[in-house]
Homo-oligomer: A and B are copies of this chain.
Amino acid sequence: MVKRYLSLISLNQAVRLTCTSFEKPGRSVKIPVIHSSGRVAATPVYAKYSVPEVNLAAMDGFAVRSRDTVGASDQSPVMIKDFVQVNTGNIVPPEFDAVIMIEDTWKKQDNLQIRKSVSLWQHIRPAGEDVREGQLVLPEGHRIRPFDIGALATYGIVDIDAREVNVGLIPTGSELVHLGIRPAPGQVVESNTIMAQVFLGEMGANCTRYPIARDTPEVIEDSLCKAAIENDLVLISAGSSAGSRDYTAEVIESAGELLFHGVAMKPGKPAILGKINGKPVIGLPGYPLAAQTVLREFAGPLLQSWGLPAPLYHTFRVQLSGSLVSDLGFDEFIPVSVGHVGNTYYAIPHSRGSGIQMATVKANGFVHIPAFTEGCDSDTKMDAVLTTDPGNIERTLLLSGAYDPALDELAHLVRNKGIFMQVRSAGNVGAVLSLRHNSCHAAPLSLPDFSFLPDCREIMQLLPLSDLRFVHIATTSLGIASREGYTIDDSINIRFINRQKGTSARMIFDSILKSKGIDKAQIDGYGHEVETHRSVADAIRNGFADAGICTSGVAEESGLLFIPLVGEQFELAIRTDLLKEPNISALVSTIQSDSFIACLAQKGGYNLLQTGLIRCLSEDLLIKEYISIESATIPL
C-alpha cells in the first residue's frame, strides 16, 4: 500500500518531454473580430480592399492640378480655372492631384486665385495609403491587440480564424464539492479545474470541465478515455489528497502510456504526464500551489509549443530580503512580494506550503530557485517573475519585523491610497537586520518593558538609532492566551505551547517560571516551540495545546481569553531619510488617522493613547527610560 515515485525526472527533462511527445493539433475556430483580442491568427489575414480605395481630400478646400499652381506667389498670384470644391474625406476626382486649403484661396468670379504653389499630393490621402487590396495585414501567428481590431474592422475583416486548443479538465477526489456548495469539514471545493479553465482560457484554450470523478479506478479511466477522444489535451486533477486513493498514474498506464510520474520540483512533485489516444494527459497534483506550478510550467509551455500565446509576465532582478533554504536537486518556485527600497528591488518570500493559496494571492510574483542551488543567501540576485502590473512595485512597501494583527488593518487602510503593504514576519531580530541592510521600508518592533526583560534591550543596541524614527502604532501586552482563561499558576496542569529561545514571549515565560519556582520539566509542552504569536493562538484554537504566551491582539483575533503579563510598545522603525517619501509619508499619516485608531479600538486589546506619535530615541534614553519616556512629536 505504500506508494513512492519510482524516480523523479528533472524539470527541464519533464518540460522537454511534455513539449515534444505529441503532435500539434493545428485546430482553429472562426470568431468575430470584436472578440478576437488576445487570440492568435491561425491563417494570414489579407485586406479585402484598399484603404482609402480612391484618392481622398485630407482637408476642406479645392482640388487642383499641382502643375497649374507652379510659380504662384504673393507678387504674382495665379488664377486657377479648373478646380472642384472638396470637404475632408471627399473623393478627389482623378484629374486633380492636390488640395488647397480653403483659407489659402481667393474666389475671383468663377476662378480661384492662389498665392502659393502646391506640391504633388498636398492634402490628399492617395488610394492605398493605409493598405492595399490583397496586402498582408496579419501574418499567421500574430497575437491580436485591441488596436489591431480597429484596423481589421477598417479593412472589412469581420471574422478571424483563431488558433484554439480543446482542453478537457477532469477533477477527481471523493472529498470534492462543487463551487456554491458549502463543504463539510474534510471536504474541499473543487477549484483546480476552475483555475485551469481561467489560466488556459486566457491563452486561447477552449476548456471543458468534466464531472467530478470519484476515487475509483474505473470511473477515472472512463472519464479519461472519453476526454482524450473529445480534446487535444486532458488535465486530470487529483483531489487535495495525494495518498492511497491516488489512482491516476496507474489508470493512465492501463489506458495508454505513462511518460513520467514525479518531477524534481516544489511545489508540484506529483506531476504526471501520459499519453492516451495519442493525446497528452497531464496530471495536476491536488494541492493548489502544486497545481499552479504544473499549469504554468507544463500545460502553458505545451500550448505555447502549439502556437498559443505565452501569458505576459514581467521579470525583475531582485535580491532576497533574507536567506532561503532550498533542496539541492529540486527546482523550487516560491511566491514573493517585490518592492523597491533605495536602489534595490527586494523580494520577501511567502509561505511555501503547497496548500496555502493565500501566499499567491498576497504575492506579487515568484522566484525560481534552480535545482543546482542549495539555499540562497540574502545577497543572492535572481529574477522574480511578476504576477501584477510592474507599476505596482513602485507602490509596494516592504515591512520586515515583529508581527501584530494591527499591521493587517494598516495594510487594508493604505491599500485605499493605492499602496501595497507587504509584511514579512521576522521578529525583532529580523527587524534589526532589515534596518541595518536597508532592505525594508519600515520595520515593526515589539518592545517589551525593558525593566522587566533587561535582555531584550540588547537588540536595540544594534539599531542605528540616530538615523531612525519610531512611529508608535499601539501599546499592547504579552500575556497568557487560552480558551479557559488560565493563569501562569495553572501552567503545570495544562498542555502548554511555547515560543523559541530569544523571543520576548519565551523570556517572559522563563522569567516568571523562575520567579515562581516552577521547574520547566513540569510543564507539559514546554518543548513544543512555534515561531509566531499566531501559531501559539492557532495551537490553542485548534486544540493542540491549552495555553501559551502571545500578544493581546493575536489572542483577541483568535477569540481566546487573555491574561496580560507585561506591556509592549508596538513601534514602526523608519529611517529618517525615508520619512519624506510619498508612500511612507502616506503610511505614517494612515497610522495617525482617525480611521486606523477606530479600527484598532474596535478590534480591542490595544491602548491607543500614543498612536501616531513619532519619537526619536537615544540609546541612553532607550535603555534607562524607554517605557516612561514622555514622547515628543517630531514634525515630518
Contacts and interface: CB of A to CB of B under 8 A. Distances in A.
A416 B358 contact: no
Which of A90, A131, A139 has the largest count of B CB atoms less than 10 A from its CB?
A: A139
Given A37-B198, A37-B202, A416 B150 contact: no
Interface in A141-167: 141, 143, 145-151, 153-156, 158
B182 A156 contact: yes
A245 B87 CA distance: 8
Interface string A76-102: 000000000001111100110100001
A241 B88 CA distance: 5
Interface in A177-201: 179-180, 182-183, 185-186, 188-192, 194-195, 197-199
Given A136-B412, A353-B129, A412-B139, A183 B198 contact: no
Given A140-B416, A158-B179, A148 B91 contact: no
A390 to B, nearest CB: 8
A153 B191 contact: yes
A308 to B, nearest CB: 12
Quickly give the copy total for this chain.
2
Given A309-B389, A361-B151, A53 B185 contact: yes
A401 interface: no
Interface string A540-576: 0111100000000000000000000000000000000
A142 B173 CA distance: 31
B541 A128 contact: yes
A6 B147 CA distance: 30
Contacts of A89: 173, 175, 186, 188, 239-241, 243, 286
Given A314-B314, A544-B120, A150 B412 contact: no
Contacts of A1: 60, 102
A147 B387 contact: yes
Given A67-B524, A191-B153, A360 B147 contact: yes
A121 interface: yes
A2 interface: yes
Nearest 5 A/B pairs, CB to CB? A150-B195, A88-B243, A153-B191, A151-B357, A89-B241
Interface string A93-128: 011010000110000000000000001110001111
B87 A355 contact: no
A150 B292 contact: yes
Interface of A: 1-2, 33-34, 37, 44, 48-49, 51-56, 58-60, 66-67, 87-91, 94-95, 97, 102-103, 119-121, 125-131, 135-141, 143, 145-151, 153-156, 158, 173, 175, 179-180, 182-183, 185-186, 188-192, 194-195, 197-199, 202, 239-245, 286, 288, 291-292, 309-310, 312, 314, 353, 355-358, 360-361, 387-391, 408, 411-412, 415-416, 418, 495, 497, 524-525, 528, 530, 538-539, 541-544
Contacts of A37: 198, 202
A67 B525 contact: yes
Contacts of A541: 127-128
A126 B542 contact: yes
Given A60-B244, A87-B244, A90-B186, A292 B2 contact: no
A58 B241 CA distance: 8
Nearest to A364: B145
B87 A126 contact: no
Nearest to A103: B2
Given A130-B355, A141-B418, A151-B361, 19 more contacts: A1-B60, A49-B182, A52-B185, A55-B543, A66-B528, A89-B239, A89-B240, A95-B543, A121-B544, A127-B538, A129-B355, A140-B415, A143-B388, A149-B194, A150-B194, A150-B288, A153-B179, A154-B191, A310-B389
Which of A34, A150, A155, A360 has the largest count of B CB atoms less than 10 A from its CB?
A: A150
A130 B352 CA distance: 11
22 contacts: A49-B183, A55-B542, A60-B243, A60-B244, A88-B244, A91-B186, A94-B543, A128-B542, A146-B198, A146-B199, A147-B195, A148-B360, A149-B195, A150-B191, A153-B190, A154-B188, A154-B191, A155-B189, A156-B179, A310-B389, A312-B312, A312-B314
